[in-house]
């Protein structure tokens, strides 16, 4: 009761400040429509809603005079426009971009129509917003969407067979460009908007007329949290992209922190649970403001989404630079990471910290993304429900008969399968004792039938690592699970080389002494059988010095395991960032070595595009998929997402977007048209990553620096690329070599594929850049002329580091929050990753 009084007092003290904030954004398009009303009506927040029949710009086709007026409701819900057939509202858009689309439904009483039993669908510009909606006896249904609208927004209402559709009010309002990240062709729906630790905020308290609800219904253990608050007029908005349009001061002035557990070392999390539809991806925005600290470096905590660490040892003050300053972080949560129809948000103290254990959260938002079918809602097609609603005993009897027949058939089929399994088990034992030549391939694998002539159960090193550019149909060795358990010491966690979307990769040693890399599929990952087959099928046909060789596979006991040649030096990424190099590893690569590595990777990709019998598009080119052997020879790896390229009569392959965020070809992202030039774009990002020694996406940086491709190209176009290079390269790079390298990367990163070079052209330019560098190192001059010096402009470079926000220090060790997030920047649109988060902190959006 005391907290409620304090909050009311804070509201009264800050009323004037809030009212001024609420007018910070003036929308270009601002359609507020009271459907079916005879005249304009005032909303409780002071906004004026026009009548749809009197608005000079909004049109309804076909014209409808069907209106229902309630005798009990008031305001926006006094009238409703009713449609007996498909009807369309058209809103002219004066300013292209994101718009709020808010729909109000209330089944008002009517003698003519039964709105409570109405069933209908709603779509907007091709996106299905509501499918077979039935408002029923609910008091009010209010849905909010974010739609990218251009020229005209068409809102279509479609009644179900024999039913009607209706709507009480519609809002179409422009949204600030910087409010949310651009996500290709996607619409979003607001699922939750929570004022953590605070009270209900209506549209009168928000500059964008949003509604914020308290967090009490969603917190799992109320005793674990304690509400805190300060005066709203003390909240500041920094230069990190936050503004009152992101969230009002009311949200940042209240929070939940860890409650006093009366124990010496509390190690619990404050948790919130939200019901969601697991078939969709979600944007989760967390709002932070340090309103509890008295000084700097006293509040450090972790944050989790569905058990996955997304912020580690997070210090709000390190981002805002002052207390009581607003900050937010965005995460994309993919459908495979959502279990039990829930999204779980948690904050808690880090494992190791010198500070008093505490954690804080001020607000959060959860928005659903449209799926690949442009849907935000899916109809209920449960056959059991259909029979229940039919009230027909005849149909029920028929259902029982069909189910019984199916069960009988399944029982017979199960018996047959069991018999086959017993037979195959006996046959396998016989084959193990008496192996035959040319054994048949596994029945699950739709690949060529030739498996090779190996008679032994062991694979020799010379056979497995033979390198050739000639395509091969050899699928490799079929390992048993026991062999791989022995090789990896029962998949010892201490032998893990890395973790990806498919699963963990272990170092193993076969019986013959050959060291291998064993990639074990995670059964919870949706990168499963399709990717498993794709990897085998692709690599079985390819042999090249700069492609990682597949040695064999295993599929038994529900395991999916791939065995590769061991790459002793690991991924290229490891050799770029100094903070990720341990004492026993080599130093970060020199410029000459980096060029050689890029050339090796380019050769591998060039072979994929032109040297194989069919064009192969890798689709996931990044620094973690370029591996180095003991001699620093680069080899392209991970073909789980690869796809055959277009045939002679095609210009592209139409396919769903898959790949890693930050490396995705924007044209492929927008149009879902894949070509080998998509690999070229991704490789351009790799080139910039190699040069600048920072991740493709770094959410810890200011907004304009988050995306390395955009940031580096701004410097390239100024002719000052040397100002953002890896500090360890300063003074060691020939300017002409760097110029050629920068020009090559710029061409790779062209917006449209027609403007990008082939991988062969990229390879030629990189080899030329290497020649220039080698000449510089031998003679101190660049043979192409121009500057004869390396890049020694240290003073200018030091100044430029202010714009980098200490790029080199935010990657890697120390348990930073960026380290954790960088490991999960994968599978943005692809629903195959185990979980993928895109983190855009402080307004750092990824266009």
Tally: H helices and E strands in the chain = 18, 41
Choose among 588, 621, 773, 753: nearest CA to 687. 621
Determine whether the annotation assigns residue 436 to a binding site. no
Residue 285 near residue 330 (C-beta atoms within 8 A)? yes
Q: What are phi and psi of 496, to 5 degrees?
A: -70, 130
- Separation of CA 256 from chain center: 27
Q: CA 574 to CA 424: how far, in whole Å?
A: 45
Residue 345 near residue 329 (C-beta atoms within 8 A)? no
Cα within 13 Å of Cα(771), Cβ side: 10
Place of tokens 């660490």: 309
Catalytic residue, chosen from 620, 638, 679, 830, is: 620
Residue 196 near residue 162 (C-beta atoms within 8 A)? no
Q: CA 645 to CA 656: how far, in whole Å?
A: 14
Residue 525 near residue 509 (C-beta atoms within 8 A)? no
State which H helix or E strand residue 394 sits in. Answer: helix 393-433
Q: Please report the beta strands in 215-354, taking only residues with DSSP state E, as ranges in sequence order.
A: 225-229, 236-237, 254-258, 270-275, 282-288, 301-305, 308-314, 325-333, 342-348
Tokens at 646, concatenated: 């277009």
Residue 330 near residue 181 (C-beta atoms within 8 A)? yes
Residue 25 near residue 176 (C-beta atoms within 8 A)? yes
Q: Please report the beta strands in 180-324, taking only residues with DSSP state E, as ranges in sequence order.
A: 188-195, 213-214, 225-229, 236-237, 254-258, 270-275, 282-288, 301-305, 308-314
CA–CA–CA angle 425, 428, 432 (5° rounding): 145
Residue 842 near residue 285 (C-beta atoms within 8 A)? no
Choose among 547, 535, 836, 820: nearest CA to 663. 836
606: left (phi over 0), alpha (psi -120 to 50) or beta: alpha
- Say whether 100 sits in a helix, a strand or coil: strand
- Say whether 326 sits in a helix, a strand or coil: strand
| Catalytic-residue membership of 52 | no
Residue 82 near residue 164 (C-beta atoms within 8 A)? yes
Residue 633, judged by CB atoms within 10 A of its CB (0-12, 13-18, 19+), counts as middle
Dihedral angle, C-alpha 762, 768, 771, 772, nearest 10 °: -110
Can you say which residues are annotated as belonging to the binding site for ATP?
519
Catalytic residue list: 620
Can you say which residues are annotated as belonging to the binding site?
519
């Amino acid at each position: 009761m005391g907290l409620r009084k304090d909050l009311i007092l804070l509201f009264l003290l800050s009323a004037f400040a809030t009212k001024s904030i609420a007018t910070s954004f003036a929308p270009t398009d601002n359609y507020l429509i009271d459907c079916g009303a005879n005249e304009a009506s005032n909303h409780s927040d002071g906004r004026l809603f026009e009548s749809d029949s009197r608005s000079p710009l909004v049109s309804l086709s076909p014209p409808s005079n069907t209106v229902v007026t309630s005798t009990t409701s008031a305001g926006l819900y006094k009238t409703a426009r009713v449609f007996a057939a498909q009807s369309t509202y058209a809103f002219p858009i004066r300013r292209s971009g994101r718009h709020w689309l808010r729909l109000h439904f209330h089944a008002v009483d009517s003698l003519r129509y039964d709105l409570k039993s109405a069933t209908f669908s709603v779509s907007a510009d091709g996106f299905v917003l509501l499918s077979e909606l039935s408002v029923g006896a609910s008091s009010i249904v209010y849905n909010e969407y974010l739609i990218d609208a251009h020229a005209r927004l068409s809102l279509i209402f479609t009644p179900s067979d024999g039913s009607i559709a209706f709507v009480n009010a519609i809002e179409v309002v422009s949204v600030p460009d910087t409010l949310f990240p651009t996500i290709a062709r996607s619409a979003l729906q607001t699922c939750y908007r929570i004022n953590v630790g605070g009270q209900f905020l209506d549209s009168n308290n928000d500059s964008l007329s949003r509604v914020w609800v308290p967090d009490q219904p969603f917190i799992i253990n109320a005793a674990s949290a304690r509400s805190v608050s300060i005066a709203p007029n003390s909240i500041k908005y920094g230069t990190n992209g936050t503004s009152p349009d992101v969230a009002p001061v009311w949200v940042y002035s209240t929070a939940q922190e860890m409650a006093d557990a009366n124990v010496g070392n509390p190690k619990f999390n404050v948790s919130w649970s939200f019901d969601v539809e697991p078939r969709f991806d979600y944007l989760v925005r967390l709002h932070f403001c340090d309103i509890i600290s008295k000084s700097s470096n006293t509040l450090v905590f972790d944050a989790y989404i569905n058990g996955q660490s997304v912020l580690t040892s997070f210090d709000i003050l390190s981002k805002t630079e002052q207390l009581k300053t607003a900050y937010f972080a965005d995460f994309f949560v993919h459908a495979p990471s959502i279990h039990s129809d829930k999204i779980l948000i948690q904050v808690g103290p880090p494992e190791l910290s010198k500070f008093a254990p505490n954690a804080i959260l001020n607000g959060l938002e959860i928005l659903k993304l449209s799926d690949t079918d442009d849907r935000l809602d899916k109809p209920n097609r449960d056959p059991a429900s259909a029979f229940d609603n039919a009230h027909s005993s005849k149909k029920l009897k028929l259902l029982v008969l069909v189910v019984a027949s199916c069960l009988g058939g399944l029982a017979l089929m199960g018996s047959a399968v069991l018999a086959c399994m017993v037979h195959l088990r006996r046959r396998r034992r016989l084959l193990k004792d008496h192996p035959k030549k040319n054994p048949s391939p596994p029945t699950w694998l739709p690949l060529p039938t030739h498996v090779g002539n190996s008679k032994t159960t062991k694979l020799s090193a010379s056979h497995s690592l033979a390198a050739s550019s000639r395509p091969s149909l050899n699928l490799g060795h079929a390992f048993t699970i026991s062999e791989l358990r022995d090789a990896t010491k029962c998949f010892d966690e201490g032998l893990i080389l890395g973790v990806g979307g498919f699963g963990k990769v272990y170092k193993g040693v076969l019986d013959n002494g050959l060291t291998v890399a064993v990639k074990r599929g995670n059964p919870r990952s949706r990168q499963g059988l399709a990717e498993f087959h794709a990897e085998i099928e692709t690599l079985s046909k390819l042999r090249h010095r700069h492609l990682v060789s597949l040695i064999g596979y295993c599929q038994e006991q529900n395991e999916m395991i791939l065995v590769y040649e061991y790459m002793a030096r690991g991924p290229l990424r490891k050799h770029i960032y100094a903070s990720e190099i341990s004492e026993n590893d080599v130093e970060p690569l020199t410029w000459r070595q980096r060029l050689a590595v890029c050339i090796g990777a380019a050769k591998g990709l060039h072979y994929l595009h032109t040297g194989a019998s069919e064009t192969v598009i890798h689709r996931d080119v990044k620094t973690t998929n370029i591996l180095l052997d003991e001699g620093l020879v680069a080899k392209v790896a991970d073909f789980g997402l690869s796809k055959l390229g277009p045939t002679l009569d095609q210009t592209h392959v139409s396919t769903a977007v898959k790949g890693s965020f930050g490396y995705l070809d924007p044209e492929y992202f927008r149009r879902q048209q894949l070509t080998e030039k998509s690999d070229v774009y991704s490789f351009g990002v790799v080139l910039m990553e190699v040069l600048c020694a920072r991740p493709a996406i770094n959410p810890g940086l200011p907004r304009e620096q988050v995306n390395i491709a955009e940031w580096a190209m701004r410097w390239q176009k100024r002719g000052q690329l040397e100002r953002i290079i890896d500090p360890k390269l300063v003074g060691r790079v020939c300017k002409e070599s760097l110029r050629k390298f920068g020009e090559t990367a710029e061409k790779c990163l062209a917006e449209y594929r027609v403007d990008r070079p082939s991988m062969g052209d990229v390879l030629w330019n990189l080899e030329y850049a290497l020649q220039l560098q080698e000449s510089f190192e031998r003679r101190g001059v660049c043979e192409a002329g121009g500057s004869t010096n390396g890049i020694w402009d240290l003073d200018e470079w030091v100044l430029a580091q202010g714009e980098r926000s200490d790029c080199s220090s935010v990657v890697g060790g120390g348990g930073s929050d960026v380290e954790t997030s960088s490991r999960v920047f994968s599978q943005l649109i692809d629903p195959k990753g185990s979980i993928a988060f895109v983190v855009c902190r402080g307004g750092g959006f990824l266009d």
